[in-house]
Amino acid sequence: MKTNDMRISYISGGRSAIVAVFAAVALGVVHCQASLTSGLEGYWQFNGDGNDSSGNNRDLTLQGGIGFAPGLIGGALAFTGDPSKYAERTVDDQVFDFGSHDFTIQAWVNYNPTSYHQIIVEKFYGGSGPGWTLSKIGNDYFQFYPAGDGAYTSISLYSWHQVVVRRSGGTIDLFFDNNSNASWPVGAGYAFADTGNGLLVGRRNLNDGRPPEWFSMSGKMDELAIWSRSLSGPEISALWNNGNGMNIVPEPSTVLAGLSALGMLGLFGWRNRK
């Protein structure tokens, strides 16, 4: 082989290797995202609206002129502690009643103060149920009621934090920033009681009777998602993504990047065979 031919072959081979790596990374992200869409019942990105990106058309209605702010990924809901500003499902989605089935809830939260009880998301009636509610209680504790209270954790103000609740069989687990925070053995037969209330985001239901400002969120929320299955540890870690989060639904640009890389790889391979 001539020197020039060897140089061309080396350059083409190097380019092919680079494209192969890019393709593997791009398609790996797409594959991970495709896995995370399995069992996805609701996914709210809050990019200027309350639209559901899961494909199930479970859009949230935004109340009180609630605003938006820069989020973890794109935009985020901006809460001020005003109980008139919140998001809700105005219908009863029975898929969110959970019963005795596995589920996973994720929310990314960014708090202004942490000094009082703030609702993240709930499908709940009154102050003691039926239903379930995920909230931050006290200064640096989370609660998934009626399962229990989480352990103390340091919540940095004005910073994004991932909160995940997962049921797998007879155990409910709480994760904070990809670390196990609490685990409650509820038993395989335990069933959450159904409620006719819809999902509420950032506020306690008015059937509680106590002043709603006691429970209204102050801060930002992004990437709220609910699955009708138990996510694995690696899936939760993928969503954490070193604190950067992950867009659960594959972006068209990511898919096209992977396909483009494969096309380029094929082109280089064909040229190298000539």
pLDDT digits (tens, 9 = 90+) for 139-189: 899 999 999 999 999 999 999 999 999 999 999 999 999 999 999 999 999
CATH entry 2.60.120.200 includes domain 40-248: yes
- Over residues 207-229, mean pLDDT: 97
- Asked whether residue 264 carries a pLDDT value surpassing 50, the answer given is no
Please report, for residues 187, 215, 222, the alpha-carbon distance to residue 70 in angstroms, rounded to integers and kept in the order given.
40, 23, 9
Residue listed under structure tokens 């985020």:
76
At 11, the pLDDT band (50, 70, 90 cuts) reads very low
For the ranges 5-14, 60-69, 146-155, which has the lowest average pLDDT?
Answer: 5-14
* Global pTM value: 0.83
Identity of the amino acid at 264:
M
pLDDT at 250: 82
Please give the mean pLDDT across all residues of the chain: 87
Percent of all residues in the chain with a pLDDT value above 90, rounded to a whole number? 77
Cα separation, 264 vs 182, whole angstroms: 48
- DSSP tag of 214: G
Domain boundaries, the chain: 3-33+254-273, 40-248
- Asked whether residue 38 carries a pLDDT value surpassing 50, the answer given is yes
